[in-house]
Structure 1
Amino acid sequence: MNTLKLGNHGPDVVTLQQQLLAHGFAAGSCDGTFGPLTRDAVLAFQRSAGLSADGVVGPQTAAALRAVPRPPTTGSQPQAAPNIPIEAVRAMFPDTPLANIQTHLPRVLLALQAAQQTELTLVVAALATIRVEVASFTPEEERPSALNTSKGGKPFDLYDHRKDLGNLGPSDGATFKGRGFIQLTGRANYTSLGPLAGEPDLASQPERACDPDVAASLLAAFLKPHAQAIDAALLRNDFESARRLVNGGTQGLDEFTRAYRAGMAALGHA
């Protein structure tokens, strides 16, 4: 198989799409067109397999795809992400441009699938988290505000000495400000979550947290350690506990709750 990348067409792409599907990574229909959905599936597969995630199918990725998928074992099989229609997400993001949802929803679902976070409650909670953090459904950088910048001070100086964020002093606040779908903040989070999202050098390239594919993988990596607790809280309608597990507090609780309920209702789970 030749190197395959975005824009390629033909039978080799059909084979690639079939291989991705066999490994549990949906790439849209097996139509022989290497479009954005196929690229996102390749990225998700590469991260799952511990490969360099560039969305290009070179020799290493091709070899990994040819390997026979391991038979599923309890608790470890790559479950397919639930089908979340655009209209359901629009109910959660009523003021967000449709194009943003269409562009970024597939990569978020693929990242959650790669992290084996496919329970419906968790997927909707992830989307509700995005609704609170970046209502535009586009990875963004945090802006200066009274919460992060002292009066007359340099932007984000209130973060500089935050030991809970792992920051070490001046400039760390601005360097490791909030970015992405979850507004990842602090040297410690960039250092620990970067490798889990396929970005081992994220702390030295923090702007990468706003790359849409990286942002989606960071969201999945951030939620994964708390997945069981979040799921349990949501199943008992304890939205405050679910929000604390993500945010560490209750900021955005009402918005999170409204978005989650709207999404579940739109999916027929009111």
Structure 2
Amino acid sequence: MATLKRGMRNNEVRELQEKLKQAGFNPGAIDGHFGGATERALRAFQTSEGLLVDGIAGPQTLASLSADIEPDPPLAIASVTVERVSKMFPSTPRVNIETNLPPVLSSLVASELADKNMVLMALATIRAETAGFLPISEGKSRFNTSPGGHPFDLYDNRRDLGNQGKPDGDLFKGRGYIQLTGRDNYARIGEKIGLGNELVENPDRANEPEVAADVLAAFLKVKERRIKEAIVRGDLRAARRLVNGGSHGLERFRRAFRTGETVII
């Protein structure tokens, strides 16, 4: 079993209880029934180990317990089909999903973000940022360009983005599935995905599907713990804010995430 949670009753739960007791977290009766005492012991163990405290024994928790329970392949990934994702992107041409979904899923698996919540987080983020399921460049708007100014002039001197004046605003405008923005972010994420300084030297590469997928996964990986905590609390606004910094696209994000919960196993 890849995941053990309250209400389950089997030998894997018994093994989990034994491991918790050995670790010093008493689950009560070793009876193979995942009840309240087992959940409380598990939460205490997760807190002690700095894990996501959700009371669910997933692969990371089981690995920390050194449990002899063989995790299954990432079930969420296995159930993410073009047909199901199309329900999350109701107005998107199917061909866009067929083309761009495979590199996104490959990057999530490579970054160990293949659990259901992080898969939904990635897909809902794409839905909020680029409804067409294509890596795209940020468009000119009143938020990035002053009246009569050259495109993206309001980004040129954004020190918080690491920009160094014209033409950095235009060079390092938002791109990809997640709208990577700013010289510092292009440099930092480029290093993380193994491109070195390539994204700084050639920013348009952030719109290549494979690169855009790696950028998305790398960005989510940095925020993984906080994103999961927000989702466990049911706070999708907070999860969205961790990526976007605000609530732009929140309703699209929320609708896609909730739809995905029902169609992806």
| TM-score scaled by length of structure 2 | 0.70
Map of 1:48 onto structure 2:
none
Q: Tell me which residue corresponds to 1:240.
A: 237
Q: Secondary structure at the match of 2:63?
A: coil
SS of 1:220's equivalent? helix
What is the CA distance between 1:79 and its match in structure 2? Answer: 5.7
Where does 1:188-203 land on structure 2 (aligned, <5 Å)?
188-200=184-196, 201-203=198-200
Alignment pair present for 1:107 and 2:96:
no
User: How far apart are the structure 2 equivalents of 1:267 and 1:235?
Assistant: 17
Say if 1:202 and 1:78 are closer, same or farther in 2 by CA, change over 3 A. farther
Matches within 5 A, 1:66-105: 74=63, 80=74, 82-83=77-78, 84-105=80-101
Q: Which residue of 2 aligns with 1:142?
A: 138
User: How far apart are the structure 1 equivalents of 2:185 and 2:73?
Assistant: 27
In the TM superposition, residue 142 of structure 1 has moved relative to its aligned partner by 1.1
Q: What is the correspondence of 1:197-216 to structure 2 with a 5 Å cutoff? A: 197-200=193-196, 201-216=198-213
Using a 3 Å threshold, how does the CA distance of structure 1 residues 154 and 237 change in structure 2: closer, same or farther? same
Is residue 121 from structure 1 mapped to residue 117 from structure 2 by the alignment? yes
1:257 maps to 254
Q: Report the 3-state secondary structure (helix = DSSP H, G, I; strand = E; otherwise coil) of the residue aligned with 1:74.
A: helix
Q: Structure 2: where are the runs of 5+ without partners?
A: 1-61, 65-70
Between the two proteins, the alignment pairs up a number of residues equal to: 195
Q: Give, as a single letter, the amino acid of the residue that structure 2 aligns with 1:246.
A: V
After TM superposition, give the deviation of residue 74 of structure 1 in Å: 3.0
Question: How far apart are residue 87 of structure 1 and its match?
Answer: 2.0
Partner of 1:217: 214
* Residue in 2 that maps onto 1:229: 226
Counting aligned pairs with the same residue, the percent is 50
* CA offset digits 1:57-78 (Å, max 9, x no partner): xxxxxxxxxxxxxxxx937x99
Name the Cα RMSD after superposition: 1.8
Partner SS state of residue 82, structure 1:
helix
1:78–1:116 contact (8 Å) kept in structure 2:
no
Q: Tell me, yes or no, if structure 1 residue 181 matches structure 2 residue 174.
A: no
**Structure 1 residues 231-256: Cα deviation after superposition (integer angstroms, max 9, x where no partner):** 12112210111011111112111111
Closer, same or farther: CA 78–204 of 1 in aligned 2, 3 Å: farther
1:167·1:186 contact (CA, 8 Å) conserved in 2?
Answer: yes
- C-alpha distance in structure 1 between counterparts of 2:73 and 2:190, whole Å: 23
